[in-house]
Amino acid sequence: MKTTFSVLLTAFITLILITLLFGCTEWNQARVEEKYGPPAKKEIIDDRVMYYYYFSERSLKSPYNLENWCRDFTFDKDGKLINKREYLVQSDLQNKQHDPQQIDPWLNAISGGKPPEIDVTGRWHDTHGSGLFTWGEGYLRQRQEKVGGAIGGYDIKGVVSGKIVYLVFLSKGSVYYTARLEISQDLLTGNYFKANDREQTKGYPMSLTKIAEPTK
């Protein structure tokens, strides 16, 4: 009897360990969407598909403040789960208000503060068109080196340094992305970065095309 019980207990513990170690491989795109719904953002990078889900919860350090979290899933081209993780996206750049004391010094430091040689004022939209997984359409206005406006659902603050424009994407007063773009005729191309990548070291391709204003 004791031997049988020991065998069953060992088998049960082994099953739990296998589930803990390899359970994530049972996930796939269909299961993720069934559990969490459509992702807030989707990216395709090198034949891999990434789903991003964002949520907020009370801070353990300060229960009166909300912290922004991201849960992302990476799938291979066949829809099998490669990796999943959860991380805090609230960074030093992020703040509850559009506070120039936080954002402007970063823009000046990252851009180098060169006199502007271009003007990005105008209407722009994602080169991939419009849709849930694109930047959408918006308007930029430039006054000297300062840039403001909106792209898709994000408010924009930025600066032009030489021939490069540096942008900060805000939603409800929190920074979600930054971008470094160059202009060529009516095309802005470059990379966008996650908010916590203050040095802009790991970028993702981004391109916006200018919308021609109707002639009078």
From first to last of its 216 residues, the chain has per-residue pLDDT tens of: 556 656 555 665 665 555 544 444 467 888 888 888 888 888 887 788 888 887 766 555 544 455 667 788 888 888 888 888 876 665 445 544 445 567 888 998 999 989 999 999 999 998 887 665 678 889 999 999 999 999 988 899 999 999 999 999 988 778 888 999 999 888 999 999 988 888 899 889 999 999 887 655
Measured CA to CA, the distance from residue 51 to residue 49 in angstroms comes to 7
Helices (H) and strands (E) in the chain — how many of each?
Answer: 3, 12
Q: For residues 56 and 153, state if they share a domain.
A: no
Q: For residues 205 and 137, state if they share a domain.
A: yes
Q: Return the closest-CA partner of residue 35 out of 73, 67, 68, 70.
A: 73
Whether 5 maps to a domain, the answer reads no
Q: Which domain holds residue 154?
A: 100-210
Whether 117 maps to a domain, the answer reads yes
Whether 215 maps to a domain, the answer reads no
Would you state the pLDDT for residue 171?
81
Would you state the pLDDT for residue 104?
87
Across-strand partners of 205?
191
Whether 44 maps to a domain, the answer reads yes
Number of neighbours of residue 195 by Cβ within 10 angstroms: 20
Whether 13 maps to a domain, the answer reads no
Q: For residues 78 and 127, state if they share a domain.
A: no
Whether 159 maps to a domain, the answer reads yes
Would you state the pLDDT for residue 176?
84
How many structural domains are present in the chain? 2
Which letter, b or e, does each residue of 165-191 get, where b requires 16 or more Cβ atoms within 10 Å of its Cβ? bbbbbbeeebbbbbbbbebeeeebebe
Whether 95 maps to a domain, the answer reads no
Q: For residues 79 and 127, state if they share a domain.
A: no
**Could you tell me the pTM of the whole model?**
0.57
Q: For residues 84 and 104, state if they share a domain.
A: no
Q: For residues 104 and 84, state if they share a domain.
A: no
Q: For residues 56 and 157, state if they share a domain.
A: no
Asked which of 45, 61, 88 is the last residue of a domain, the reply is: 88
Sheet (strand 48-58) strand order = 41-45, 48-58, 66-75, 81-88
Across-strand partners of 67?
57
Strand 174-184 with 66-75, pairing:
unpaired
Q: For residues 39 and 64, state if they share a domain.
A: yes
Which single residue is written with the structure tokens 């099953």? Answer: 15
